[in-house]
Amino acid sequence: MSVAHPVLDRAVALYTFVDTAYLGGRPVEAIAEQLCAGGSDLIQLRAKGSSPAEVRSLAERIHPITSRAGVPLVINDHPGIAADLGVEFCHLGQEDFFDAGHTRVGELPGGSRGRPVYGLSTHAPEQAARAVAAGPAYIAIGPVYPTGTKPGARPVTLDYVRWAATNVSIPWFAIGGITLANLGDVMEAGARRICVVSAILNAPDIPQACQEFKTRLLSSRG
């Protein structure tokens, strides 16, 4: 059974990122502020290649901002840091969860401030079924399209999105190469929640980009 979280029971649609690969010298605090202002429902700190100490420092700078805005923060790859800092969510890839010997989300760290809520990445139907059985609050479906965020990853195409729309019963987010230009196709395939990295972080106006994505997503819900 998956572990529910109240934020996933609301009209959660847009999952955005403070990704250090796309900062371009901008302070993480400014990016977090802009993502919150644009209406992000979840914000992930993704700092591939950074040391645990650097990730912790970034999280300590971002979390007060997201907390004030009422937007849950997600730490990528570092469950211990998420637990220690009382961050609301933690996200793990297949290699960080199953390949590390875990089988149940309940095995992952909790801290004195409570246990983070966990999400897992998936790249194929069999991975999705296995991930859902492990008990996360949500799973990610992707990468749907080729993406510079994961240059070596093979796109799962809209076929996997269609499969998820029919077969995944817990909250799920389509991710990977999603832009305003292809969002209609992703939604037509059945996605109602998406993750967006570069199309927002590279936009000239981050809050406006967030609002454009979210407006179109919520319009599909009637």
- Between CA 142 and CA 157 the distance in angstroms is 8
Residues of the chain with pLDDT under 50: 1-4
- At 82-116, the pLDDT tens digits run 999 999 999 999 989 998 888 999 888 776 566 78
- At 192-212, the pLDDT tens digits run 999 999 999 999 999 999 999
- Residue 84 to residues 3, 7, 81, 88, 115, Cα–Cα distance (Å): 20, 21, 5, 11, 9
Among the listed residues 104, 40, 27, the one whose alpha carbon sits nearest the alpha carbon of residue 74: 40
Delimit the domains of the chain by residue range.
6-219
Q: How many CA atoms lie within 13 A of 107 on its CB side?
A: 9
- Between CA 9 and CA 28 the distance in angstroms is 28
pTM: 0.93
Residue that has been written with the tokens 């211990």 in this structure: 80
Q: What is the pLDDT of residue 201?
A: 98
Q: What is the pLDDT of residue 5?
A: 59
- Check: CATH 3.20.20.70 for 6-219? yes
